[in-house]
Amino acid sequence: MHRKAIVFFVFLLIDVHTGMGVQLSHSAALARLQGAGISLSSTGNCSNRNNRLCTSLENIRSETIDWLIHFKQTNNCPFVVTGGTETGHGRRTGVDSHWGGYKVDLRFNSCLNQFIERGSRTGQNSYFRYIGTSSYGPRYRSGSGAILLKESNHWDALWPANPVVNWGG
């Protein structure tokens, strides 16, 4: 019993410092999302991670899926994942990237857009705060540390390796 506690403690230390968690297969991640009422859409109607026309969840981090499910539960808006871990999301790999399993793209819809944006610049939104604009568009941080970037045609949702869990910019 004593050994199990020590091994568990070491695992938690490794998890916190690296930001790495369990990576899921596409089918396991999709089953969890669908069970929470979140759908997936693919331009090419496929899930091949190496095809940029597909939407893949292969090797997505379990923490990213957990956050997405929790996010869905907080607002009850329709969610459609249109981008995951497939190639074609810029040049970044590793920590805080699509390829690394830290990001998904979400289709715009009025419910989701209003939930994120309404009151976020004035502090009246209890879930999101506006934190500035990048060259891609306005960015919003959730109280749990997720960052959503409003790109031209979708939300780029990041559950970072080391989330900042306050309202600072």
Q: Worst-scoring range by mean pLDDT, 11-15, 28-32, 142-146, 164-168?
A: 11-15
Q: Domain count of the chain? A: 1
pTM: 0.83
Is 115 a member of any domain? yes
User: What pLDDT score was predicted for residue 163?
Assistant: 85
The answer to the question of residue 33 being in a domain is yes
| CA 99 – CA 57 distance, rounded (Å) | 9
Q: What distance in Å separates the CA atoms of residue 78 and residue 166, rounded to the nearest whole number?
A: 26
| pLDDT tens per residue, range 124-165 | 888 999 999 999 999 999 989 999 999 999 999 999 988 877
Q: Is residue 122 part of a domain?
A: yes
Q: Is residue 51 in a domain?
A: yes
Q: Give 55-113 pLDDT, tens digit per residue.
A: 999 999 999 999 999 999 999 899 999 999 999 987 677 789 999 999 999 999 999 99
Burial class (CB in 10 A: 0-12, 13-18, 19+), 126: exposed
Angle, helix 62-75 to helix 26-35, in steps of 10 degrees? 20
Q: What is the residue range of 40's domain? A: 23-158
Could you tell me if 159 and 19 are in contact, meaning their C-beta atoms sit under 8 angstroms apart?
no
Pairing of strands 38-40, 79-83: parallel
Instruction: Please give the pLDDT value at position 16.
Output: 37
- C-alpha angle with apex 132: 126 to 133, nearest 5 degrees? 130
